Amino acid sequence: MATLSLYGQSILVLASLILFTSFALLAQTRALPLIRLFAWQGILLAVTTALVAWVTHQPHLYVSALLTLGLKALLIPWLLIRLVNRLGLHNEVENPKANALVLLGAAALTVFCYEIALPIMRLSTLLTRNVIAVSLAVVLLGMLLIIVRSKAVTQVVGFMCMENGLFFAAVVATYGMPMVVELGVAFDVLIAAILFGLFFLQIRDSIDSLDIDRLSRLRETDE
């Protein structure tokens, strides 16, 4: 195998850091550190995007990097932290069931992503092709976070983490999507973040808790 350039090496290091934050999110059980980790993932993503933009001379990626930094690393974490403080959730600790098993499952998912991404990696000529599997893994780990946790805050972080993975995939597979699409997606993410905030208030008002497990009135088996 040919030796990697400095650029290739730094992309790989950054990608592995992003994947690491995804695993850390799965292991974290307190709301505030969880949001901070999510903010770090956003920062890493923005740095990766800026690096790709600089090396490959894709000026539009600078815009994407700035959008990511503003939205995923600053605005959304800030909104979430404010809500957590306002609702007094910062001391709550979640007790996820069988967390070691979940982390092992996450590792298995990551390996599975490499298998799925093979046909794409074979076709791609971009320097970043090795990272496509990692981006898919970030998407799936975000989904796993939503599935195994029952706190509303954690589910929102999982949702945003999936968005991070999708954006990462677009950057490394195709150097980003067309600008108009990226702006549209960013707009949707922003609206979603605001709606999530409003939802927290609604959920708390209606069931006095932000524990999604208590949302179980709508079932087929109910009388």
Partner 1 sequence: MSSGAALLAPLLLVPLAGVIILAVLGHSRRAGWINIGISLLTLLASLGLAAVVLEKGHLLIGGGMFYIDAFNVYLLVLTAFVGLTTAIFSRAYMLDEMAHGRVNTKRLQLYHAMYQGFLFTMLLALSTNNLGILWVAMEGATLATVMLVSLYRTPESVEAAWKYFILCGVGIAQALFGTVLLFFAAERVVHHRDRALWWNVLYARADHLDPAVMSLAFVFLLVGYGTKVGLVPLHNWLPDAHSEGPTPISAVLSGLLLNVALYALVRIKMLADPTLGALPGELMMAFGLLSFLVAVFFLHRQRDIKRLYSYSSIEHMGLMTFGFGLGVPLATFAALLHMTVHSLTKSALFVSAGHAIHLAGTQSMERIRGLIRAEPTVGWGLLIGTVAIAGFPPFGIFTSEFLLLLATLQSWPWLTLPLLAGLLIALAGLLRHVQPMVYGEPMAGWKPVRANVLPVAVHLALVLWLGLAIPVILAHWFIHATILISGRSPW
Residues forming the site for partner 1 (CB under 8 A): 116, 119-120, 122-124, 136, 139, 143, 146, 152, 155, 159, 162-163, 166, 169-170, 173-174, 177-181, 184-185, 187-188, 191-192, 195-196, 198-199, 202-203, 205-207, 212, 215-218, 220
Q: Which is nearer to partner 1, 3 or 202 (CB)?
A: 202
Q: Which is nearer to partner 1, 9 or 191 (CB)?
A: 191
**Identity of the residue, 9 or 179, whose beta carbon is nearer to partner 1 in the bound complex:** 179
- Cβ partners under 8 Å of residue 149, min gap 6: 94, 96, 155, 158
Collapsing DSSP to helix, strand or coil, 151 comes out as strand
* Separation CA 79–CA 185 (nearest Å): 19
Which CB atom, from 44 or from 162, has the smaller least distance to partner 1? 162
Cβ proximity to partner 1: between 46 and 160 the closer is 160
CB of 3 to partner 1, least distance (A): 26
We find the least distance from the C-beta atom of residue 168 to partner 1, in angstroms, to be: 10
Q: Work out how close the CB of 167 gets to partner 1 at its nearest, in angstroms, rounded to a whole number.
A: 9
Q: State both tokens at 167.
A: 């954006």
Tokens found for residue 47: 């740095």
Identify whether the C-beta of residue 126 lies closer than 8 Å to the C-beta of residue 11: no
Q: How far apart are CA 113 and CA 133, in angstroms?
A: 5
Instruction: State which amino acid sits at residue 155.
Output: Q
Smallest gap from Cβ 8 to partner 1, in A, equals 19
Tokens of 101: 């098993």
Q: Shortest gap between Cβ of 143 and partner 1 (angstroms)?
A: 6
- In terms of CB distance, is 3 or 219 closer to partner 1? 219
| Residue 163 beta carbon to partner 1: minimum distance, rounded to whole angstroms | 7
CB of 150 closer than 8 Å to CB of 213: yes
Can you say whether residue 8 is alpha, beta or left, with left for phi > 0 and alpha for psi between -120 and 50 degrees?
A: alpha
